[in-house]
Amino acid sequence: MNFLKRISLFSICITVFITAVSFVIPVKSKLSIRFTNYAGNTILNLDSSYKNQLRQPFSMNNIKYYISNIVLKKKNGSKYPINEYYLINELEEASKQINLNDIPEGEYTSIEFIIGVDSLHNCSGIQSGALDPVNGMFWAWNTGYIFLKFDGTSPLSQSPGNTLEFHIGGYRSPNNCIRKITLNFKSPLLINAAITQAINIKADILQLFKSPTPVDFSKLSSVTDFHNATSIANNYTSMFSLIEK
């Protein structure tokens, strides 16, 4: 066999090999998690006015909160953790959708996540991405992250300019404001390479001022440290629910 024939045969073998490999490489499985902010049963509109549980009027300038430590639980009980941090910002539409790739195939029964930033990353100093202080969610004076930030106004507020300011954070006991949320699917969510699945999560912002501790804006219009922070954190455990067809 001469040199040219050897080269030709080698090229054919490489082509066959690449073609064969292309057939066995699995398509990446994809999952999107979409957060939509609501006020009760209507999608949140920052230009609208709302009322809290005590029927006190208020408006919102913005709402931001951290979602982290996401865990997908399979039907067989195994768990798939996603060790990333996401800042949901009402003013940034793209931030409300989390796109994930390479999710292990299988049937999933629930999703877990925490509101806030775990103690490890609270103690890791200045970071990048969603945890970058440029996002306005880092307390320089407290060396830690604000887990949820709500800013607005109410005519009943006694703060200057009738402002409402609820900046909730803190990970040290007894003022730990990290809260875990578990949402169970009505039917198992099938993840495979053939389809891009979506989890749609409703975040009802009115729950911030509802049970278990209803907030009276005439008496409490600002929370920016540990005082009353855990009460608001207990309230935001009820913010989240699944939007299922």
Residue-wise pLDDT tens for the chain (245 aa)? 554 455 555 455 555 455 544 444 445 689 999 999 999 999 999 999 999 999 999 999 999 999 999 999 999 999 999 999 999 999 999 999 999 999 999 999 999 999 999 987 877 666 789 999 899 998 876 668 999 999 999 999 999 999 999 999 999 899 999 999 999 999 999 999 888 899 999 999 999 999 899 999 999 999 999 999 999 999 999 999 999 87
What is the pLDDT at residue 2?
A: 55
Does 146 map to a domain? yes
Does 39 map to a domain? yes
Does 206 map to a domain? yes
User: What's the pTM value of the predicted model, to 2 decimals?
Assistant: 0.86
When divided into structural domains, the chain yields a total of 1
Neighbours of 153 (CB within 10 A): 20
What is the pLDDT at residue 109?
A: 97
Does 121 map to a domain? yes
Does 15 map to a domain? no
What is the pLDDT at residue 143?
A: 65
Q: What is the number of residues in the chain?
A: 245
Does 201 map to a domain? yes
CA dist 60 → 63, 65, 128, 157, 165 (Å): 8, 14, 27, 13, 10
d(CA 114, CA 147): 10
**Boundaries of domain holding 149:** 29-242
